[in-house]
Amino acid sequence: MQLRMPRGRVTRTMDESQNTDQRAVPTAPQPPKLPQPPKPPRVPRVPRPTRAQVAAGAVDRADEERQFRAWMWVTTSLLAFMLFTVSVPLAATVYGVHLLAAFGTSLLLSAAIPLAIRLPWLAIGLATAGLLAFALLSAGSDGAPWPWPVTAIIGQGALLVVLGLLTPWWQGLAAWAATMLVTAPFGFVDAGAAGNAVTGAAITALALAVAVAIAQRRVIGVELFRERAHSADEQQRRILVEERTRIARELHDVVAHGLSIIHVQATSAPYRVEGLSDGARAEFAEIATSARTAMAEMRQLLGVLRSADAAADTAPQPGLAELPALAASVERAGVPVTLVLGDRLPEGGLAATAAYRIVQEALSNVVRHAPGAATHVSAEVLAGDLVVGIENDASPDAAALDVKGDGGQGLIGMRERAALLGGSIEFGEQPGGGFRVLATLPLEPDGGMA
């Protein structure tokens, strides 16, 4: 569809209307000047930990845990090897255990120590079985600690330390209780065995208690780190809310106040100024309508900024169906617009709203920087994407301002809108003059088809 309207610029119409009125009615009151917006106060930047820093702290914690387990593997493997090399000759010579049996029982008691890092229950079973087998095979030996040899006390204490550091406390308690259960009956056979069992139980219990205390201290450190990370996140949210409130306040004080004055002046101009033509009255009505729309959208924006948890506005957002009205308003501002809409366009959704905003910003740039330039706007669905293009020719006004580069805030805003939907946008000057904007917005999952 093609919309054609008179090319009179808004500012030129207003100037001509004011000059005509001054000649006809010299005493006509002049509209008040807009107040200069105050400069926003400088807010000191408060340093705060970011989510990346919190995540980095979590990664450091994981690295520390891996390093601790690697250190435990090395230490327990070395200790198991030393105990094995000492236990085999000790069991064979001092306790009179057969050499193969000495190898077997020593292997069970020694291998359980490093195995407890990965398979704690299997390690508990091996250590208990090895201690019971050694006590039964070495029964009757004279002059040596029995049923707890020194190597068994050291090995069982090391096993309980590993369990206390790396597993819940009740697993270590279960391992200690299992060894006490299999060695306590020997105390009723021999008085020396009873004393030896009490000694072994006391030493291993002390080792388990120390390990559990150290483990609890590590747990408290982890909880403290999590609490600090949570506090840092809450602090970041609080500062973000304060900054949003400050921005909302500045927008209200500066932009909303100026829009209100524009609306009042445009609405009252036909009553204050005599002799206005019908075209000038229509221009003032269009200015008032645009100001009201801008103030309504500004109120919605301020509501979102002031409360991050505010419910979403139920008012319908502008979409592709409003593009003809947008093109007509730009036509009345003196820019001829050709609008081409494809088939199966989405009726609503984020993609349609983003496309409308991109077209709105592009047309506003044409009005500001290339007044009177013929502009072509198109919207169609290609391969599941909503493709929107805005092209304008060079401005016929030689004195029109031509902005070069891509540093404008409007262009940045268009790029951000496309990026939020996972789309892309391209813009740049045309070889023969003018400007071109091409946006590609995916329709899934929030676009929807008409």
pTM of the model: 0.46
- Per the structure, the count of domains in the chain is 2
> Given pLDDT bands bounded at 50, 70 and 90, which one contains residue 392?
very high
Q: 269 vs 117, which has greater pLDDT?
A: 117
- pLDDT of 54 higher than 70: no
- CA 283/CA 310 separation, integer angstroms: 37
CA distances from 350 to 286, 319, 347, 390 (A): 27, 9, 10, 19
Q: What is the mean pLDDT of residues 32-54?
A: 45
How many Cβ atoms sit within 10 Å of the Cβ of residue 202? 11
In a domain, 113, yes or no: yes
pLDDT value at position 24?
Answer: 40
Do 21 and 141 have their domain in common? yes
Helices (H) and strands (E) in the chain, counts: 12, 6
Cβ atoms of residues 169 and 121 within 8 Å: no
pLDDT range class, residue 62, cuts 50, 70, 90: confident
Task: Answer with the one of 315, 347, 372 that is the final residue of a domain.
Answer: 315
For residues 106 and 87, the answer to whether their CB atoms sit within 8 Å is yes
Higher pLDDT, 128 or 11: 128
Computed over every residue of the chain, the mean pLDDT equals 79
Of 140, 135, 70, nearest in space to 108 by CA: 135
Helix extents (H) in 116-190: 120-137, 150-166, 169-183
Tell whether the model's pLDDT for residue 47 goes beyond 70.
no
Least confident of 102-116, 302-316, 386-400: 302-316
pLDDT of residue 18: 43
**Same-domain pairing of 277 and 346:** no
- Judge contact between 208 and 173, C-beta under 8 A: yes
306 and 180 in one domain? yes
Residue 233 belongs to some domain of the structure: yes
CATH code where residue 368 lies: 3.30.565.10
Instruction: Give 334-362 as a DSSP string.
Output: T--EEEEE-SS--SSSHHHHHHHHHHHHH
Q: What is the DSSP string of 381-410?
A: EETTEEEEEEEE---S-TT-----SS--HH
User: Given pLDDT bands bounded at 50, 70 and 90, which one contains residue 174?
Assistant: very high
Assess if residue 223 is contained within a domain. yes
Q: What is the pLDDT of residue 420?
A: 86
Q: How far is CA 430 from the centre of its chain?
A: 38
Residues 322 and 304 in one domain: no
Q: How high is the pLDDT of residue 5?
A: 42
Q: In this predicted structure, which of 183-187, 271-275, 396-400 has the lowest mean pLDDT?
A: 396-400
* Residue 109 falls inside a structural domain: yes
Cα–Cα dist 428/432, whole Å:
12
Question: Which positions ≥6 away from 105 have C-beta within 8 Å?
Answer: 87, 91, 97, 130, 133, 134, 137
Q: Mean pLDDT across the stretch 388-401?
A: 76
Do both 307 and 386 map to the same domain?
no
Among 34-38, 140-144, 208-212, 375-379, where is mean pLDDT lowest? 34-38
Q: Are residues 360 and 403 in the same domain?
A: yes
85 pLDDT higher than 80: yes
pLDDT for residue 387: 94
Task: Confirm whether 2 is domain-assigned.
Answer: no
Q: How confident is the model at residue 409 (pLDDT cuts 50, 70, 90)?
A: low
The pair of three-digit structure tokens given for residue 366, joined into one six-digit string: 């044409």
- Residue 1 falls inside a structural domain: no
Cβ-contact 447, 351 below 8 angstroms: yes
> What is the reported pLDDT for 262?
82
User: Does residue 45 surpass a pLDDT of 70?
Assistant: no
Whether 5 is in a domain gets the answer: no
The mean pLDDT value for 163-173 works out to: 92
pLDDT at 276 over 90: no
Rounded average pLDDT over 137-144: 81
DSSP bridge partners of 341: 379
The answer on pLDDT for 168 being more than 50 is yes
**How would residue 257 be classed by pLDDT, with cut points 50, 70 and 90?**
low
Band (pLDDT 50/70/90 cuts) for residue 440 is very high
- Does 334 lie in the same domain as 224? no
164 and 211 co-located in one domain = yes
441's enclosing H/E stretch is strand 435-442
Same-domain pairing of 342 and 289: no
Task: Report the pLDDT value the prediction gives residue 307, as an integer from 0 to 100.
Answer: 61
Question: Residue 79: which of 122, 104, 121, 115 has the closest Cα?
Answer: 115
Decide if pLDDT at 182 tops 80.
Answer: yes
Token look-up 């540093």 returns: 407
Residue 400's pLDDT is 47
What is the pLDDT confidence band of residue 60, given thresholds at 50, 70 and 90? low
pLDDT of residue 416: 85
Helix 191-251 and helix 150-166, axial crossing angle in degrees, nearest 10: 20
Helix axes 323-332, 350-369, angle to 10 degrees: 10
**Are 23 and 150 in the same domain?**
yes
> Which tokens in the block code for residue 435?
């400007």
φ/ψ of residue 98, rounded to 5: -55, 150
On the question of pLDDT at 111 being above 90, the answer is yes
Residues 308 and 335 in one domain: no
Average pLDDT over residues 152-179: 93
- Does 323 share its domain with 373? yes
Range of the domain at 329: 318-450
pLDDT at 117: 93
Provide the pLDDT confidence category of residue 306 given band limits of 50, 70 and 90. Answer: low
Cα distances (angstroms) measured from residue 35 to each of 253, 261, 309: 11, 9, 34
Higher pLDDT, 71 or 276: 71
Q: Which of 315, 348, 374 is the last residue of a domain?
A: 315
- Domain edge (last residue) among 281, 315, 349: 315
pLDDT at 46: 40
- The whole-angstrom separation of Cα 112 and Cα 318 is 70
> According to the model, what pLDDT value does residue 445 have?
52
Least confident of 197-201, 241-245, 400-404: 400-404
SS3 88: helix
Does residue 97 fall inside a structural domain?
yes
DSSP type of residue 30: P
Query: CB of 91 within 8 A of CB of 138?
Result: yes
pLDDT category at 436 given cuts 50, 70, 90 is: very high
How many other CB atoms are there within 10 angstroms of residue 380's CB atom?
15
